[in-house]
């Protein structure tokens, strides 16, 4: 069974700092990997989706990379802002068994 792990569980940084969030998964048989943002008491907002054949995706200050062979993905956030404070989750869509698997998330606090 696929296991998705996110490190660190919580992160606190001063405004303006660049940061990296990590996601690892155990089974490389995936369609894609997605990064989501979740604000307290809310649903998830999709940030980036990387297909299994791709290496990275970029959107604004966000860059996500995927190394399927090693089972790793990183989310890079440039020039962090207080509005980036949220929980960030990664999820993989398996291409066998019709399942989605989520990590437990990294809670990010950007201090003004």
Partner 1 sequence: DGGITQSPKYLFRKEGQNVTLSCEQNLNHDAMYWYRQDPGQGLRLIYYSQIVNDFQKGDIAEGYSVSREKKESFPLTVTSAQKNPTAFYLCASSIRRGGNQPQHFGDGTRLSIL
Among 105, 106, 108, 110, binds partner 1 (CB under 8 A): 105
Is residue 4 involved in binding partner 1 (CB under 8 A)? Answer: yes
In whole angstroms, how close is the CB of 97 to partner 1 at the nearest point?
Answer: 10
Q: Is 18 exposed, middle or buried, given 0-12, 13-18 or 19+ CB atoms closer than 10 A?
A: exposed
**Tokens representing 76?**
């890079």
| 47 within 8 A of 105, measured Cβ to Cβ | no
Using CB under 8 A, which of the segments 10-18, 44-52, 62-70, 76-84 binds partner 1?
A: 44-52
Q: Is 30 exposed, middle or buried, given 0-12, 13-18 or 19+ CB atoms closer than 10 A?
A: buried
Among 91, 92, 108, 110, binds partner 1 (CB under 8 A): 91
> What is the Cα–Cα distance from 26 to 91, expressed in whole angstroms?
12
In whole angstroms, how close is the CB of 77 to partner 1 at the nearest point?
Answer: 18
- Binding stretches for partner 1 (CB under 8 A): 4, 31-32, 34, 36, 41-46, 49, 51, 89, 91, 93, 95, 98-105
């Amino acid at each position: 069974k696929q296991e998705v792990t996110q490190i660190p569980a919580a992160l606190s940084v001063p405004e303006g700092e660049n940061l990296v969030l990590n996601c690892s998964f155990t089974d490389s048989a995936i369609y894609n990997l997605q990064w989501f943002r979740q604000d307290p008491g809310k649903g998830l907002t999709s940030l980036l989706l990387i297909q299994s054949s791709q290496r990275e995706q970029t959107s604004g200050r966000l860059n996500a990379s995927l190394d399927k062979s090693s089972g790793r993905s990183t989310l890079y956030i440039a020039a962090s802002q207080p509005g980036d404070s949220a929980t960030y989750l990664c999820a993989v869509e398996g291409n066998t068994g019709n399942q989605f698997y989520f990590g437990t998330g990294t809670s990010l606090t950007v201090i003004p």
